[in-house]
Structure 1
Amino acid sequence: MRVLEIGTGTGYSTAVFCSRLGEENVTSIEYDQDVAARAQGNLARLGLLPTLVTGDGLRGHGEGAPYDRVIATCGVRTVPSAWIEQTRPGGIILATVGGWLGASGLARLTVHDDGTASGPLLSGQVGFMLARPHLPPPLGLLPDLTAGKEREARTGADALHDWTTRFVVQSAAPGAQRLTLTRAGRQEHVLIDVESGSWAALFGEDGRWTVRQDGGAALWDAVEEQLGRWHSAGAPALDEFTVSVTPDGQTYRW
């Protein structure tokens, strides 16, 4: 099998692939030049000469395509189309998908003849550092958190302590980042979508939660709707989720 590895790192897993498949079948991409140079030295000391590329792994490496397997040792918010295009039909992409709320899942996607890919999330709380282009933007100046409409929340911010719940919340508010701050003598949990300018601030008092929202979209309304659908389905675990990637985007089902 021909394998494309996204993220060479120290070169350890690259060496494992070479041992298993032969160096002529292994291509590995590393974004950081210094890291790539150290990995090349590590592999050379073992007498291994796979194809090593320094560049943006999200673009893959079309010169060596098609691949039977694409394996990413970095996290992504959405699976890049280049990985699908460079994997033969029936080939598999193994990548950690997640978001800016700190929850992720390991997706095992099979590439189809029509250029789409789909497959399950595997069990376990798996996390990798997000690829640099997928890191969140700076929050910048915070919005006026005293503005907006206030209501009683059906779901409190304490739900975000749970890994799977955070993953579901990310699918409802994929552009949101989370921070906690103290205002008016109480702790507030804030979700902010920098791109849209939307935000939601929640605080708990006497066992009840209040949310205040403003901006282009009601973030917490979308979160509660998505969580409602998930709970109605019995709150399935991540290994009951499936991921589909098409030209129209990436979707989750459970």
Structure 2
Amino acid sequence: MIHGDGARDVPPDARYDRIIATASVRRVPPLWLERCRIGGILVVPLKGTLAGGMIARLTKLPDGSAVGRILHTPAAFMPLKTGTEVKVPVPGIPDSPARQAALSGRVLDDWTFSFFAQLHMPRSLVRTYGRSDDGLHVTTLYDPADGSATRTEDMPEAPPLVTATGPRDLWAPMEEVHQLWRRLNRPRREWFSIEATPAEQTVAYTAPDGRIHRWTL
């Protein structure tokens, strides 16, 4: 029994045949990869700020990497906490100017798409969502790295509206990513492979035309 931070407080001589996490992480902690024996299995829930939780099952290889696939089952595990997290407040966004959106923020409720979208967005991205006074869906994206903030708000009997402040409209790349997701035949969770090495972690998808698409976690 170890009482401590599960991502860091592991005895230096510990080696494991199985590592099964019941809290989600953005990437596989390097220490877990290091302490898993060759041939051992890691089962790790992966989750970013856009929701889209997935479970990865990886096998440790002799070269120190681990490879596997994303499982079909979605994951709703709470994030692994280190005790040093600081909640990032999302700033208010002025009501104008605004543009029509090609997508409602509700598209991120689809965990298959939101995981795919997470692969294309900054790691620092913060998402909040809720309902307007009219009971309509509102999603806000905020990147504290450059202060960009974007609100996507459903309208009654009209296309959603996007209002942005800061240097970037954060919903524009989301619309582009959704088009790519559709062109790739709306890839399901279990169609993605995953590889974790001491240097980098990537997710890959092989399209029907044989082209391999790869993203860094």
Write the letter of the residue equivalent to 2:113.
T
So what's the TM-score if we normalise by structure 1? 0.68
Asked if 1:242 is matched to 2:193, the reply is: yes
Q: How many residues align?
A: 202
**Mapped partners of 1:225, 1:245: distance in 2:** 27
Which structure carries more relative contact order (alpha carbon 8 Å, separation 6+)? 2
Looking at structure 2, the residues matched to 125 and 221 of structure 1 have their Cα atoms a distance apart, in angstroms, of 26
State how 1:20-99 maps to structure 2 within 5 Å.
52-59=1-8, 61-99=10-48
Q: How far apart, CA to CA, are the structure 1 residues paired with 2:152 and 2:198?
A: 35
How far has the Cα of 1:235 moved from its partner? Answer: 0.4
Who is 1:222 aligned against? 173
1:170 is matched by which residue type in structure 2? Q
Once the two structures are TM-superposed, the CA of residue 186 in structure 1 deviates from its matched residue by: 6.8
Q: Which residue of 2 aligns with 1:47?
A: none
TM superposition score normalised by structure 2 = 0.78
- Asked if 2 retains the 8 angstrom alpha-carbon contact of 1:94 and 1:108, the reply is yes
Matches within 5 A, 1:108-127: 108-127=57-76
CA displacement 1:5-64 (0-9 Å, x = unmatched): xxxxxxxxxxxxxxxxxxxxxxxxxxxxxxxxxxxxxxxxxxxxxxx1111111252434
SS of 2:33's equivalent in the other structure is helix
2:148 to 176, 198, 201: 198
Q: 1:165 aligns with which of 113, 130, 146?
A: 113
Stretch of structure 1 that moved more, 187-196 or 121-130? 187-196
Aligned residues of 1:66 and 1:88 also touching (Cα < 8 A): yes
Query: How many angstroms apart in 1 are the aligned matches of 2:131 and 2:171?
Result: 18
Aligned to 1:96, the other structure's residue is in SS state strand
1:177 maps to which residue? 127
List per-residue Cα deviations over 1:73-95 (Å, max 9, x = no partner).
11111111111111123322111
Please say if residues 60 and 86 of structure 1, whose CA atoms lie closer than 8 Å, have aligned partners that are also in contact. no
Decide whether the 8 Å contact of 1:62 with 1:86 is kept in 2: no
Identity, in percent, stands at 30
1:127-138 pair list within 5 angstroms: 127-133=76-82, 137-138=86-87
Cα–Cα, structure 1 residues 118 and 214, in superposed 2: closer, same or farther, change >3 Å?
farther
Contact 2:54 2:74 in 1 (8 A): yes
CA–CA distance in structure 2, aligned partners of residues 179 and 172 of structure 1: 20
Report the 3-state secondary structure (helix = DSSP H, G, I; strand = E; otherwise coil) of the residue aligned with 1:123: strand
2:99 corresponds to 1:151: yes
User: C-alpha displacement at 1:126, in angstroms?
Assistant: 2.3
1:183-237, CA deviations, whole angstroms, 9 ceiling, x for partnerless residues? 7997632122334422211123334123223335432222223222221110021
Verify: 1:140 aligned to 2:89, yes or no. Answer: yes
**Contact 2:70–2:189, Cα closer than 8 Å, also in 1:** yes
The Cα of 1:238 is off from its aligned counterpart by: 0.9
Separation of aligned partners in 1, 2:173 and 2:51: 19
Structure having the higher Rg: 1
- 2:149 is paired with a residue whose SS is strand
Q: Which structure dedicates a bigger proportion of its chain to helix?
A: 1
- Which residue in 2 is equivalent to 1:4? none
